Structure 1
Amino acid sequence: MATQPALGKIGIWTAALRVTDSLSAQQVGEAAAELEELGYGTLWLGGSPSPDQAGALLEATGRITVATGILSIWDHDPAFVAERYAAIDAAHGGRFVLGLGVSHSALAGERYARPYSAMREYLAALDAAPTPVPASRRILAALGPKMLELSRDRAAGAHPYLVTPEFTAQAREILGDEALLAPDLKVVLEPDLDRARTIARDYLARYLALPNYTNNLLRLGFEEKDFADGGSERLLSGVFALGDAEAIRHRVDTFLAAGADHLAVQVVNTAPFTTLPHQEWRTLAEALPLGNG
């Protein structure tokens, strides 16, 4: 792409940074502003957010990039997305990145059909909108080779979820040198490794029920037995960073060395979808290479 979004080296991925019955707009805004002040390059809002939910984070900040991580193409009409993207992006100086994905059949239901073709059609609709969403301002959730190629050819790059350094190296080969590669990395900042693995397994179990993820993990050399009981130690070691801040930093460096341009760090605790882990974010900001040049 001619102009790539400025993601920085390290971002924060969270599905909790939105207004709920237990979290006010003020609390959400203050948390987003603190993450910007700490030096993170991008806020990734998970859980198939709407453009306007991402827009609320842009309103609360002044410099940081905000990305949807990811917006499900089954949940949001492309014409509406393009319209809202244009308005929000114009108001916030090019800080909005549209992360798109095909989600999962278990979540999308009967709408889920021909996901690769559906993504191509969705991108075409964004291109055909009165104010198109530029390819350089969108990024695709991609695991398989065809979707990685599409993220290279029709977007700024790829935002793969639940992956390993080995996957990252393979994805870099498919994407080439120019496309962005911004994988998610789940982090349990807990020095007691037995407790860290328990927290990780409780979180991972929901994803191991989704074939898009397990099929990709099988391609990477894991076996069905690795998916039992929330994940084997081998699997946890592959897709998580577990331990103290030094161990987390080492794992982050491994992903970057494998070819990631940016890591979307997701702090996993006992309630990751409903709580904002302020202290973990602060600790990681001191430990990780946040340089955003």
Structure 2
Amino acid sequence: MHNGAIMVDGLGEFGVYTFDFERQPVARARESIQELDELGWRAFWFPEVGGREAFSLAGTLLAATQNITVVNGIAQVTARSAPAAHGGAALLAEAYPGRYLLGLGIGQGRPGVKPLSVMGDYLDELDALGKVPRVLAAYGPKMLALARDRALGAHTYHVNVDHTARARGVLGSGTFLAVEHAVLFEDNPATARAIAREHLHPYLTTPFNIAKFRRLGYTDDDIDHGGSDRIVDDLVFWGSPETVVARLREHREAGADHVAVQVIGADDTMPHWRLLGEALGGGR
């Protein structure tokens, strides 16, 4: 897994995370990622929730760029067999050396599905076909330990800074930790929190995510009725680009190797990526 370790080191401190390319016309997605590449962003993360197949979209974005690393964040293990995932990931890793990273996860919790056993069995099947560098979506200590022992590391989504510190404690000092975090460039507290609550609504109303937030220490009062100011401010960093960057650096200080930043509250996110890139300077 040595080459994979080199690759995650090359992702930089901060990257782009977006759902945008799940719904944009392909021509616009190509133009957008080409600009991100030219702006100096070193990592681009995208989920698999909007209907576009994870490996096909990754290949499309890799073919359009020269330097940026494309990361599945995540490819759902329930969406395809392990041999299919291995075939797709191995092809992209060979075609674009050092520029593709497989991120695996269960996705939304499903009744009767035990995430730890499902992921363990899936990794067994993958490893029987040959090693492909990968990270795992992980929150609880057991899944984080699996990411430590059987992958390059972990990728978390919609967690607070305290969780990042806990995750680093489980992973130890030598394992990669990437943290997604949502941001919003809005200075007015009422406006910012209203937009953030709209974004968080699907997460604050689904059992899998509610259980995660309770494990993070939030109460029913924090989770119900759209979310308390505390949980909203912890899960969506808002304010000026400088304020947002300072908050994002808290994840780095807590132990994250890389922070994948999701801009919300804008139909066109590219101007915000330009602003954020300027505010981060060489941090990408």
Q: Name the structure 2 match of 1:122.
A: 122
Q: 227, 230, 238: which one pairs with 2:223?
A: 227
Q: In structure 2, the residue corresponding to 1:247 is in which secondary structure?
A: helix
Asked if the contact 1:9/1:290 (under 8 Å) is kept, the reply is no
**How far apart are 1:290 and its partner, in Å?**
4.3
Rounded Cα–Cα distance in structure 1 between residues aligned with 2:237 and 2:151: 28
The question of 1:100 aligning with 2:104 is answered yes
Rounded Cα–Cα distance in structure 2 between residues aligned with 1:231 and 1:290: 35
Q: Name the structure 2 match of 1:171.
A: 167
Rounded Cα–Cα distance in structure 2 between residues aligned with 1:194 and 1:91: 47
**How far apart are 1:156 and its partner, in Å?**
0.7
Amino-acid identity (%):
38
Q: 266, 279, 289: which one pairs with 2:271?
A: 279
Structure 1 residue runs of 4+, over 6 Å off?
A: none
Q: Name the structure 1 match of 2:248.
A: 252
**How far apart are 1:139 and its partner, in Å?**
0.6
Q: Name the structure 2 match of 1:31.
A: 32
Asked if the contact 2:47/2:54 (under 8 Å) is kept, the reply is no
Equivalent residue letter for 2:126: L
Q: Name the structure 2 match of 1:238.
A: 234
Equivalent residue letter for 1:277: T
Q: TM-score, normalised by structure 2?
A: 0.93
Q: In structure 2, the residue corresponding to 1:17 is in which secondary structure?
A: helix
Q: 215, 218, 223: which one pairs with 2:214?
A: 218
Q: In structure 2, the residue corresponding to 1:183 is in which secondary structure?
A: strand
Structure 1 residues 78 and 289: alpha-carbon distance in aligned structure 2, compared to 1, 3 A threshold: farther
Asked if the contact 1:41/1:290 (under 8 Å) is kept, the reply is no
Asked if the contact 1:172/1:181 (under 8 Å) is kept, the reply is yes
Query: Any unmatched runs of 5+ in structure 2?
Result: none
Larger helix fraction of residues: 2
Rounded Cα–Cα distance in structure 1 between residues aligned with 2:114 and 2:145: 16
Structure 1 residues 290 and 45: alpha-carbon distance in aligned structure 2, compared to 1, 3 A threshold: farther
RMSD: 1.6
Asked if the contact 1:15/1:45 (under 8 Å) is kept, the reply is yes
Asked if the contact 2:165/2:255 (under 8 Å) is kept, the reply is yes
Rounded Cα–Cα distance in structure 1 between residues aligned with 2:48 and 2:227: 22
Q: In structure 1, the residue corresponding to 2:38 is in which secondary structure?
A: helix
Q: Name the structure 2 match of 1:41.
A: 42
**How far apart are 1:276 and its partner, in Å?**
4.2
Q: Name the structure 1 match of 2:12.
A: 8
Q: Single out whichever of 206-215 and 181-190 deviates more from structure 2.
A: 206-215
The question of 1:57 aligning with 2:61 is answered yes
1:67-216 aligned at under 5 Å gives the runs 67-105=71-109, 109=110, 113-129=113-129, 132-134=130-132, 137-216=133-212
What is the count of residue pairs matched by the alignment? 277
**How far apart are 1:63 and its partner, in Å?**
0.9
**How far apart are 1:94 and its partner, in Å?**
2.5
Query: Any unmatched runs of 5+ in structure 1?
Result: none
